Amino acid sequence: MEDQTNQTLDRIQQMIDDLDVKSVFGAATTEGDYTLIPVATVMYGFGYGSGSGPGKAKKGEGATGGATGGATDDVEAGAVSDTEGADIVFGGGGGGGGRVTPCGFIRIGPDGVRYEGTYNATLIPIAGMLTGMWSIMWIAMTVMTAFTMLGVRQKDWGGWMAKKRGKR
Tell me the residue length of the chain. 168
Q: How does the average pLDDT of the chain come out, rounded?
A: 75
Cα(107)–Cα(45) distance, integer angstroms = 31
Find out whether 52 and 89 touch, Cβ atoms under 8 Å. yes
Q: What is the per-residue pLDDT across 39-74, written as a single tens digit (0 to 9) for each? A: 888 888 888 788 888 877 566 554 444 444 444 444
Question: What is the C-alpha separation between 78 and 41, in angstroms, rounded?
Answer: 53
150 three-state secondary structure: coil
pLDDT band at residue 109, thresholds of 50, 70 and 90? Answer: very high
Per-residue confidence at 136, pLDDT binned at 50, 70, 90?
Answer: very high
On whether the CB atoms of residues 40 and 25 are closer than 8 A, the answer is yes
pTM over 0.75: no
> What is the full DSSP assignment across 8-55?
HHHHHHHHHHH-SHHHHH-S-EEETTEEEEEEEEEEEEEEEEEEEEEE
Domain borders along the chain are 2-118, 120-168
Least confident piece of the model among 3-17, 56-70, 141-155: 56-70
